[in-house]
Amino acid sequence: MTTPTQTLRIDRVPGVLIAQKPRGAEILIEALVHEGVESIFGYPGGAVLHIYDELWRARDRITHYLVRHEQGAVHMAEGYARASGRVGVALVTSGPGATNAMTGIANAYMDSTPIVVITGQVPTPLIGTDAFQEVDTVGITRSCVKHNYLVRDVRDLAPIVHEAFHLARSGRPGPVVIDIPKDVSAAQASYSRFKNITFPCVERSSMPDPSVVRRAVDAILKAERPVLYVGGGIVNSGAADALRSLAEELQLPVTPTLMGLGGFPSAHSLCLNMLGMHGTYAANMAVAESDLLIAIGVRFDDRVTGKLATFAPHARVIHIDIDPANVGKNRAPDISLIADARAALEALHSEIASRQSERLEAVKRRDQWWTTIRAWQREQPLRFSGSREQIKPQSVIRELHRLTRGNALIVTDVGQHQMWAAQFYPFSRARQWITSGGLGAMGFGVPAGIGAQLARPDQLVVAVVGDGGFQMTNQELIVAVQYELPVKVLIMNNGYLGMVRQWQEMFYDRTYSEVDLSVSPDFVKLAQAYGALGIRATRPEELEDVLTAGLSHKGVAVIDVVVAKEENVFPIVPAGGNSRDMIVSQS
């Protein structure tokens, strides 16, 4: 049984005195300031005029970044949130503003990113009349938000904003939408900034159950062929250190998902690197042969499991996740622990610490398993054939890694370049890797890179994109230029929608249906038109110099690298297959 109400305490924050009876728009701004919001990505319109009016007055406290398309605003908020661990905020108008924001909202939902999206709405008396720029925003966003609100009364506005932030960042993080009708942002109400706010939402425990922790440790200590399968939950809960100490203490092999990259150092000797459709041979084989899968902050996504019935067929499963609905959704676990990943890992760690002799025994037994894994790694390492004629896309990522000393914050779009970046750029820290995983939304790269750069001005941010995805949101380059956010955009330009072309080559008899992008704008000139540096490499011998020039440029740079046109991503487990069906290289 759960408690019916929870009290969220809002502590008093010193700030500017506000009018006796502020407008809704002012209440919104005050509540955002309360939540520590410093940056908003947005685009104005009729229904949010009051809010923009107030935002202008508050411009010394909150900086607004004017995007060029609302999808860009939400992706920037996501990039900001994922790079910083804070809640990202986007502000858009009603109707087309809200529908343009949808892709970003769905993306944040799939990848558990904490963002709050504020949408304008037509005035309450007009709701339901098919008014100008009216859409049912709470209706169309319902299935891809943690929660959403239509604010009907200005007196509810402040509590709703505070609850929205609480929901976005608590438990399994995600997007929350607040739809504010124009008359509500104009209406006046008193706003007491230090009142306790009560809301009926239910908080569920995220502390691990000690008896389950003991059973999990029993299983881990007894296992012959254990594998840690870890995902975005590690990054979201700040569990990277706890994961590393557990893995090291027990000499456990670790395989991160696409979303988990950076949650465990890629170059660590225990790391098998990514598993799944484009995972390493060793990672997929280890999971296939494993007798215990320790799954943390993952959801057994189809791009990881392939055919579920034959995924890790010999393994017992310990599933640790903060979202109970993830546990047992695709694979029924033998032991399930509903908890925050970090809290769970720390609990496992302290239980193991009290069982030292068993631990040493387990580590000793691990030798044979590691011998097998090392053989897989030697047998089929990630590899590609070099070329003196063309630039190989994998070599671009290798070179990027070398020139940035492995320190760049890598943001990607979706497609082949994304998989090559995941495979060939070894990550050393959490939040060093930001990508569109679950939704696979092309167009994510450039705006998310801009958001990440704002959150981390101290880091070199490289948005690795394809020539397809770049053209979906390249208009946002001007935002980077305008606000001096010196993101580097690296286009892996193969003149194709490469991933679709690869599938057409492999599974559709090389029928290249509508994937030819050879007619594209000149990306160098395009960059220059935006006031950014634009440079191009077409020959392998140019690559190092061009990358160096682009990466060391002080401002925004677009590096157009013309790569081999028909390179494929390997290994590949065809959709619905399993590790037996894995194709490791071009036949």
Partner 1 sequence: MRHTLSIVVADQPGELSRIVGLFSARGFNIETLSVGQTNDSSWSRVTVVTCGDDRTIEQIVKQCERLARVREVHDVTRQPHIEREMALIDVAATPGEMRQEVLSLVGVFRAKVVDISQTGMIIEASGNKEKVEAFIELLRPIGIRDITRTGCIAIGRLSPVRTTNVVDEDEIFVEQAG
| Largest interatomic CA distance in the chain | 74
Quote the least distance from Cβ 184 to partner 1, whole Å: 14
Tokens 């459709």 identify what position?
277
Tokens of 472: 């979906």
Give me the catalytic one of 35, 54, 70, 476. Answer: 70
Task: Name the minimum Å distance from CB 328 to partner 1.
Answer: 6
DSSP-derived secondary structure letter, 549: H
Contact residues for partner 1, defined by CB under 8 A? 1-2, 4, 138-139, 142-143, 146-147, 150, 152, 167, 200-202, 204, 323-325, 327-329, 332
| Closer Cβ to partner 1, 1 or 17, answer by number | 1
* 300-329 per-residue burial string, b: 16 or more CB within 10 A, e: under 16: bbebbbbbeeebbeebbbbbbbbbeebbee
On whether the CB atoms of residues 75 and 443 are closer than 8 A, the answer is yes
- From the candidates 133, 188, 475, 528, which is the catalytic residue? 133
**CB nearer to partner 1: pick between 152 and 215:** 152
Among all chains, which residue has been given the structure tokens 């590096």?
559
Q: How far is the CB of 147 from partner 1 (least distance, A)?
A: 4
566 CB-contact burial (10 Å; exposed 0-12 / middle 13-18 / buried 19+) = middle
Between strands 88-92 and 115-121, the pairing is: parallel
Within 8 A by CB and 6+ apart from 339, the residues are 206, 207, 208, 209, 320, 321, 322, 347
Cis upstream peptide for 457 (omega within 30°)? no
Q: 499 catalytic, yes or no?
A: yes
Q: Of the listed 132, 368, 525, 544, which one is catalytic?
A: 132
Q: How many CB atoms lie within 10 A of CB 515?
A: 18
Of 112 and 284, the one with the shorter C-beta distance to partner 1 is: 112
Closer of 329 and 374 to partner 1 (Cβ): 329
In whole angstroms, how close is the CB of 437 to partner 1 at the nearest point?
Answer: 20
Q: Is 484 left (phi over 0), alpha (psi -120 to 50) or beta?
A: left
Q: Which of 110, 277, 285, 499 is catalytic?
A: 499
What is the C-alpha to C-alpha distance for residues 576 and 339, in angstroms, rounded to an integer?
30
Tell which phi-psi region holds residue 328, choosing left (phi > 0), alpha (psi between -120 and 50) or beta: left
Q: Cα separations (Å) of 153 from 26, 139, 150, 205, 483?
A: 14, 19, 9, 32, 36
Cβ of residue 202: shortest distance to partner 1, in angstroms?
A: 6
The Cα 547–Cα 440 span in angstroms is 27
Instruction: Confirm if 576 and 307 have CB atoms less than 8 A apart.
Output: yes
- In whole angstroms, how close is the CB of 235 to partner 1 at the nearest point? 21
Pick the closer one to partner 1 by CB: 344 or 460: 344
Is-contact 226 199, C-beta < 8 A? no
Complex with partner 1: residue 14 or 200, whichever CB lies closer = 200
Torsional sign, CA 35, 41, 44, 45: negative
Cβ closest to partner 1, residue 204 vs residue 525: 204
Closest separation in Å from C-beta 204 to partner 1: 8
- 311: annotated active-site residue: no
Residue 167 or 345: the one with the smaller Cβ distance to partner 1 is 167
Q: By the 8 A CB rule, do 264 and 365 touch?
A: no
Indicate the pairing of strand 254-256 with strand 226-230: parallel
Do residues 363 and 374 make contact, with C-beta atoms less than 8 angstroms apart? no
Q: Is 133 marked active-site?
A: yes
Q: Where are the beta strands (DSSP E) in 63-196?
A: 63-66, 88-92, 115-121, 147-150, 175-181
Spot the catalytic one: 182, 264, 311, 567: 182
In the complex, the smallest distance separating the C-beta of residue 316 from partner 1, rounded to whole angstroms, is: 17
Least spacing, CB of residue 329 vs partner 1, in Å:
6
- As annotated, the active-site residues are 70, 132-133, 182, 499
